[in-house]
Homo-oligomer: A and B are copies of this chain.
Amino acid sequence: MTGVSRRGLFAALGSGAVAGGLVAAGVATADRSGASAAASSGSGSARVVPFHGEHQAGVATDVQANLHFAAFDVTATSRDELVSLLQDWTAAAVALTAGREVGDGGASGGAPLAPPSDTGEAVDLHANRLTLTVGAGPSLFDDRFGLAAARPAALVDIPAFPADALVPERSDGDLCVQACADDPQVAVHAIRTLTRLAAGRAAVRWAQLGYGRAATVDPSAPTPRNLFGFKDGTANPAASDTATLDAQVWVQQGDDDAAGGAGAWMAGGSYLVARRIRMHIETWDRTSLQEQEQVIGRTKAAGAPLGHAGEHDAFDPRSLPASSHVRLAHPETNGGAQMLRRGYNFTDGTDGLGHLDAGLFFLAYQRDPRTAFIPVQTALARQDALSEYLEHTGSGVWAVFPGVPDGGYLGQQLLST
């Protein structure tokens, strides 16, 4: 399953692309565009986020426009089966993130009497900056796979917070896969493909579609806005700020030693907390502008901290209202703790009461939830004026594996312990 498919290679050769160069380069740039490869390979290549590396892609990667997130229950009954699943996912992720179909037969080649190896709905599309980011939830460390001793101390169960309205069918999961891309069909195709490959070894527990990071599609657009109409993500660490990422997002060598080193395999990984936050937009929409801005702590139009003019002006969080969201979530209010947020807006039809079921699918990466998400959310749940307008309906935490070296597989650091 690794390498380029025969059809993919054939298409590249037949299209008049610079075949010699592609082959010399290991065909790393061949993409699903098939016959149009020659015309679009430049932009196609530019849309590929490398899969291999010290860290998994999809964390510090510039946020893509679309999300399909899935949590899986592992049904495999042995550690070998779990390893083979993660190996198959790795091979598929290598192909998909490079913009290729999975398998030898593609959607159209191979034996006519066998199902196509690729489901085909992303044929003709490019990689579209697809990233696939995989992690293990606390439940994977039970007694099924002999992993209990390798559970990192930082992979704690998320405590219950006041006003939580969590639905089990939207929470937790042995494994998670975050698929992000600039085309929703590419992200959905990736999750579907991994789901299909998992047959008999893992099944989708729940899934969530998200959208809304139009800023990355249109580089001239400013910070994206959430469904309350406010800019969201202003204070996020930049992908280029490696010092902050090392301090706040990536697990470091030596972390977790206090727990006897159970989580030593996580160096280079990160902890992901996901929360499906239903936003009561109808109530919010009836609130005055002044109240909205006091609740958030920033102006609505510019996104400036209250009392300031510009979105990125330096400010003292203690100058903001005591119950404002920005003050309570600010690193200075939380012992310096910071998370890398890459949440997406969602709109899932209606709630049957004439209201849109819409909100924020919050995704935050951090070095240790015990010093980041948990204390921050504890403070927010107690004091945040915004909580009145929110309802947390889903939740999960995962140890997102370190990056995959060439020839390695997702989770190998854990499963070879």
Contact = CB atoms under 8 A, between A and B. Distances in A.
Interface stretch (A111-119, A137-145, A260-268, A324-332): A111-119
Contacts of A286: 115
A39 interface: yes
The residue among A39, A292, A347 with the most chain B CB atoms within 10 A of its own CB is: A347
Interface residues of A, number: 83
B115 A285 contact: yes
Contacts of A188: 227, 345, 347, 356, 358
A116 B206 contact: no
Contacts of A347: 68, 184, 188, 207, 209
Contacts of A169: 352
A293 to B, nearest CB: 8
Contacts of A114: 288-289
Contacts of A358: 188, 192
A176 B22 CA distance: 50
A121 B196 contact: no
B281 A356 contact: no
The residue among A34, A184, A292 with the most chain B CB atoms within 10 A of its own CB is: A184
A387 interface: no
Contacts of A354: 73, 203-205
A116 B286 CA distance: 8
A379 interface: no
Nearest to A106: B301
20 contacts: A40-B220, A107-B229, A108-B302, A110-B289, A112-B288, A115-B286, A116-B229, A119-B228, A120-B230, A120-B300, A121-B225, A121-B226, A122-B225, A123-B301, A124-B222, A184-B212, A188-B356, A191-B356, A203-B354, A205-B354
